[in-house]
Amino acid sequence: MVELLRSNDPVLISFAASLLEDAKIPHTVADRDISVIDGSIGAIQVRVLVADDQLDAARELLADAGVEA
């Protein structure tokens, strides 16, 4: 899996994950729990990961929705 998006913005992460889910693009949201444990100081960003062969489709999907990835 490769990183598609990295952010401390929970709304952006949720939006991206929702878009990927609706498009049936397999993904994983990594470091969500670690980000909460660090006290929400932003030291560790949450990452959205997709399969290598889905990266281009995922980037295009986010770009069409106005999200820079």
The pLDDT of residue 15 is above 80: yes
What does the block give as tokens for 9? 């913005």
For the chain, what percent of residues have pLDDT higher than 90?
71
Which CATH number goes with the domain that contains 8? 3.30.70.790
Domain that holds residue 11: 2-64
In a domain, residue 37? The reply is yes
40 CB-near residues (< 8 Å, 6+ apart): none
In a domain, residue 8? The reply is yes
| pLDDT score of 26 | 97
pLDDT one-digit tens code per residue, 20-39: 999 999 999 998 877 566 56
In a domain, residue 56? The reply is yes
* b/e sequence 33-69, b meaning 16+ C-beta within 10 Å: eebeeeeeeeebebbbbbeeebbeebbebbeeeebeb
Domains held by the chain: number: 1
In a domain, residue 59? The reply is yes
What does the block give as tokens for 62? 């986010």
Count the neighbouring beta carbons within 10 Å of the beta carbon of residue 16. Answer: 25
| pLDDT score of 37 | 65
In a domain, residue 21? The reply is yes
In a domain, residue 69? The reply is no
